[in-house]
Amino acid sequence: MHPFSKNPQACAGNLGECKLLEHIHDWLGESTPPSPYGMGDDTAVLQQSGNLLTTDSLVYNKHFDDGAHPEAVGYKLLARNLSDIASMGGTPLHAVTAFFMPANTSLEWLEGFTRGLGACAQAYGVKIVGGDLTGTDGFLGATLTLDGIAERPLLRGRVKAGDLLYVTGNLGGSISGKHLNFIPRLKEGRQLARYKAVSGCMDITDGLGKDLPGFLSKGLAAQIDLNALPISEAAREQSGRDGRSIEEHAFCDGEDYELLFSVEPTFAEQLEGEWKSSDLTPIRRIGVAVEQNGSMVLMDRAGNPLPHWHGYEHLGKS
């Protein structure tokens, strides 16, 4: 749905800020508690304190376009942040949002967006406690900041040589739709946080190939079994159309929002067994962390460098 309207009566800018905030409050529904625990004061007063804090943004024609339902865009804004909390093994608590929008943003689009955001918050027990509205000359985007709590946060950078590498779900092809309706892996992250043998966890957002180096501790490389990558249906379809291999799609496509994690090898069998008997999203062993030898950080099972595939670059350089 196109987010702007030529009919002044249908535009957000026509309402005036106070009325608009009332509408937003209504559209958020029960996801926003009464002031001072929600919107309405200079800052929100939180009823529970978290030890995790993360922020992520969405921009029109970059993270969503006219083909997206506004409800899905609102969902995605929160879900991206939920995925970050999931990767720490945490439980989300409170969110604040900052909107950037031109005066001709349509009320219909904004209502859908806000309802989608509120519904996602309800589904995951998040309270929307405040926000900010900024008028622009045409730019449409939003930032959401989320806090959460984790007793033992799962961190990056503690992977050791010999640790096995796993991912949840299937990879690649997210652009076909999953980027708007993925399920943040909160349950899976919390389960992983219960295992001391899980040495690291992150969510895959820029593509496995781009995210992996940042996941490894210094001096480590990843040996990846390309044949073991869990390939999404969407990646297969795209591969059929664009001629890029399914492995390249799985390895490089952005916005998977799956978890990448590492496990001490002696615990791998137990973890795999317990996982299979749970209702959690399936996991796949995709490789192993090894001592780095030279400058190569990513290699295949035979120790050869992986093809020169790129992940997503936020500022356009690759």
Residues within the interface to a copy of itself (CB under 8 A) = 12-17, 20, 35-36, 40-46, 49-57, 59, 61-62, 84-85, 87-88, 90, 94, 96-98, 100-101, 103, 129-139, 141, 143, 145-148, 150, 153, 155-157, 202-203, 313-317
Nearer Cβ to a copy of itself (20/234): 20
Number of C-beta neighbours around residue 295 at 10 A:
7
Instruction: Confirm if 259 and 167 have CB atoms less than 8 A apart.
Output: yes
In the bound state with a copy of itself, the residue whose beta carbon lies nearer, of 16 and 303, is: 16
Q: Which is nearer to a copy of itself, 146 or 183 (CB)?
A: 146
Q: Are strands 164-168 and 258-263 parallel, antiparallel or unpaired?
A: antiparallel
Q: How many CB atoms lie within 10 A of CB 56?
A: 20
By C-beta, is 8 or 273 nearer to a copy of itself?
Answer: 8
Residue 42 or 279 with smaller CB distance to a copy of itself: 42
Q: How far is CA 132 from the centre of its chain?
A: 22
CB of 289 to a copy of itself, least distance (A): 17
> Judged by CB, which is closer to a copy of itself: 202, or 222?
202
CB contact at 8 A, 133 and 99: yes
Least Cβ distance, residue 288 to a copy of itself (angstroms): 22
- Cβ–Cβ < 8 Å for 286, 224: yes
Residue 101 or residue 246: which is nearer to a copy of itself going by CB?
101
The minimum distance between CB 53 and a copy of itself, in angstroms, equals: 5
Cis peptide before 92 (omega within 30 of 0): no
State both tokens at 43. 């800052």
Instruction: List, in order, residues 6 or more apart from 196 with CB less than 8 Å away.
Output: none
Min CB(13)–a copy of itself separation in Å: 5
Smallest gap from residue 224 Cβ to a copy of itself (A): 20
- Lookup: tokens for 169: 């779900």
Q: Residue 286 CA to chain centroid, in angstroms?
A: 20
- Least distance to a copy of itself, CB of residue 104, Å: 10
Nearer of residues 243 and 316 to a copy of itself, judged by Cβ: 316
CB 162 within 8 A of CB 117: no
Q: Beta 283-291 vs 220-224: how paired, if at all?
A: antiparallel
Q: Which is nearer to a copy of itself, 1 or 98 (CB)?
A: 98
Query: How far from the centroid of its chain's Cα atoms is residue 62's Cα?
Result: 15
Tell the residue number behind the tokens 């002044």, with chain if given: 8
The CB-of-214 to a copy of itself minimum distance in angstroms stands at 8
**Nearest distance from C-beta of residue 258 to a copy of itself, angstroms:** 13
DSSP string, 218-244: TTEEEEE-GGGS-B-HHHHHHHHHH--
Kindly state the smallest distance separating residue 116's Cβ from a copy of itself, in Å: 19
Q: How far is Cα of residue 283 from the mean position of the Cα atoms in its chain?
A: 17
